[in-house]
Structure 1
Amino acid sequence: MNCKNKRTLFATLACVVGLICLQSAAAQSAAPLTSKELVTLVYQLPKHPELRDELVADIRKRGISFPLTDGMRSLVATKSGNDSLLRRTLEEAERRRVNPTVSTLPPEAEANELLERARAATLAAADAMPDFIVKQLIKRSRAYGNTNNWQPQDNLTIAVAYRANAGEQYKVLAVNGVPRAQETTQKRDYSKDVDPGTTSSGVEYISAVADVFKTQSDTKFKLVDTDLIQGRHTLVFEYEVSRDLSQLTLRAGEAEPAVVGSRGRIWIDRELNRVLRFEQIATEVPPDYPIRAASTLIDYEWIAISENKFLLPTHSEILLTNVGRGVTVQSRNEIRFRGYQKFGAELKVIDEIDEKDFPPEKPEKP
């Protein structure tokens, strides 16, 4: 065999070996994650938190090959800082492992049909909101720097009167369980009636979700996962709205309001076509604005008012990061909505904020 033929043979063998290696690597990357692989990846998170998104994408793509034990849940929570996105992705991967039919992503066309039904249902609901009153139980806390080392600030009890043609009116009922004077009036902004800190804006009820679905927002949606919310099977979509088309506005003290972009996720009930959970994260925030980061997470449930049921918020969490005079301060509002009633009823301080209204502290990344 001459040198030329030998070189050709070696080149052919090298190509074959390379192809086999590539096929083996591809097969391995497509196979479900093993517990050993997951543990290896999770141990990298404390030093490299930016790897979380890659890990989430890998779990969604490959799934898991092992039962998700309490020990594994605890390890993931510890190494990820109790990251909610990673936790929910793992739980759904476990449901998909046990019952692939229920938790399999639908074809793109089917997902888009659900998205359009949810758009129509949400915009219709926004135009048919009932007039109601509700009590907000707000637990405010703050942390310095970017530590997430939350320290209690205060507990507020706020009466909210909502009318479709007038928006929200707020009245401070109590601070730290101490009732406020009866002459306290309702107003659109109660921030001056309490110590400085984050206050509610009213977007929780439906307006923020509706804005995302409006055609003028030109929202970009992407199906990413399935999930179980309140026992309901949902599809999870990521979304993004550019700043120039956004309705999201940040307000910080005496500073001028700033319009920002947004991104986040929505969880849509596969049968009822409604959003059961909504996440909104501010993007394109002006670099010199006092608020540097802002996010909201809202859970919705069906509430009966005057013998009719409406999808209304029952819990929300607002996170803000402010910078002033060189000091970074994080603030968190955890809000429980209690006692929805038909508009016109009188809200009284019946049960002030109790620890049963707020679960034990479990620091969780949005």
Structure 2
Amino acid sequence: MSLVYQLPQHPEKRDEIVEEIRTRGIGFPLTSGLRSLVATKSGNDALLRRTLEEAERRRTNPTASALPSEAEANELLARTRVATLAAAEAMPDFIVKQLIKRTAAYGNTNNWIPLDNLSIAVSYRANVGEEYKVLTVNGMPLGQEVKESKDYSKYVGGASSSGVEYISSLADLFKPESRTSFKPVDTDLLQTRRTIVYEYEVRKPHSRLTLTADKTSAANVGSRGRIWIDRGTNRVLRFEQIATEIPPDFPITAASSLIDYDWVTIGENKFVLPTRSEVLITA
């Protein structure tokens, strides 16, 4: 745990710590004092916290927390691919209201300063995917010139990323043309459900992820991250996406998102849809 003390000055060591914990586990109880120490030194980093909690579950119950065999992991992934693509095809057209709270922090301070609150209408149609229309900014409606489109950043300014919300991005991950590579790396407990965590990577030539900066500048990028698959339902409950292969001269230097999914009722049927998302952009 000596690396934890270096995090305030070297936050880039987080991934190294996470990898060490996943590889070696922990041989000591995860006490409340230790949880508090890690939260303080890491700026309450969610990934590090979840990794430690899962390591504690493996320590106390190694049998239940063990990774499945390669064959079982591949079978679960194959079932999830079929279920995810089928669900995207069967998803009805709908419109929902998305509430976004935008904040900013300087450097690695994690001192988040509120910027604005956006209310956005998100429509989904199977033949189009998601489209967005800004309804209000800080409670004030925008003018009639606001149109529904794939990118709403031109109306509100700031940096944004496409392909990180709702249905399309998750379905794209499982499409053959994305050539996504998957690797089972961990287990976790989400919403009381036992999950297998897979790392994935989509190289830039096959990626549909786009970053937008300053309303006019956009870049296609690759992505990597993890997905949490429910062992019982073959559905993704959490989707992490980290932008890769960002052009060195692009204003955005890093971008990531974390989306939690759950069952949502539309009409008389239930569908797996996002319930919460967090997007971090460094520019």
TM above 0.5: yes
Q: Is 1:149 the counterpart of 2:111 in the alignment?
A: yes
Question: Offset of 1:106 from its aligned partner?
Answer: 1.1
Question: What secondary structure is seen at the aligned counterpart in 2 of 1:102?
Answer: helix
CA distance in 2, matches of 1:251, 1:125: 29
- What amino acid maps onto 1:280 in structure 2? Q
Aligned match of 1:234 in 192, 195, 201?
Answer: 195
Question: What secondary structure is seen at the aligned counterpart in 2 of 1:291?
Answer: coil
Listed as ranges, the matches of 1:76-95 within 5 Å are 76-95=38-57
Gaps of 5+ in 2: none
Query: How big is the alpha-carbon RMSD for the aligned residues of Structure 1 and Structure 2?
Result: 2.3
Q: Decide which structure has the larger Cα Rg and report it.
A: 1
Q: Percent identity?
A: 71
* 1:244-282 CA distance string (max 9 Å, x none): 222222222354532211111111111111111111111
Question: Offset of 1:169 from its aligned partner?
Answer: 4.0
- What amino acid maps onto 1:58 in structure 2? E
Question: Offset of 1:107 from its aligned partner?
Answer: 1.2
Question: Offset of 1:200 from its aligned partner?
Answer: 7.0
Q: Does the 8 A contact of 1:172 with 1:184 survive in 2?
A: no
CA distance in 2, matches of 1:164, 1:117: 22
Aligned to 1:207: 168
CA distance in 2, matches of 1:202, 1:247: 7
CA distance in 2, matches of 1:299, 1:225: 17
CA distance in 2, matches of 1:214, 1:92: 30
Aligned to 2:240: 279
TM-score, L = length of structure 2: 0.90
Specify which structure has the bigger relative contact order, considering alpha-carbon pairs within 8 angstroms and separated by 6 or more residues.
1
Which shows bigger deviation, 249-258 or 127-136?
A: 249-258
Q: Does the 8 A contact of 1:65 with 1:97 survive in 2?
A: yes
Q: Is 1:308 the counterpart of 2:282 in the alignment?
A: no
- What amino acid maps onto 1:167 in structure 2? G
Aligned match of 2:185 in 209, 224, 232?
Answer: 224
Q: Is 1:289 the counterpart of 2:241 in the alignment?
A: no
Question: What secondary structure is seen at the aligned counterpart in 1 of 2:213?
Answer: coil
Number of residue-to-residue matches in the alignment: 282
Listed as ranges, the matches of 1:1-366 within 5 Å are 38=1, 40-145=2-107, 147-178=109-140, 180=141, 186-188=147-149, 189-194=151-156, 196-198=157-159, 201=162, 203-253=164-214, 255-322=216-283
CA distance in 1, matches of 2:15, 2:142: 49
Question: Offset of 1:216 from its aligned partner?
Answer: 2.0
Question: Offset of 1:199 from its aligned partner?
Answer: 5.1
CA distance in 2, matches of 1:190, 1:49: 32
Question: Offset of 1:182 from its aligned partner?
Answer: 8.8
Q: 1:173 to 1:51 in 2, by over 3 A?
A: closer
TM-score, L = length of structure 1: 0.71
Gaps of 5+ in 1: 1-37, 323-366
Question: Offset of 1:55 from its aligned partner?
Answer: 2.6
Question: Offset of 1:48 from its aligned partner?
Answer: 3.9
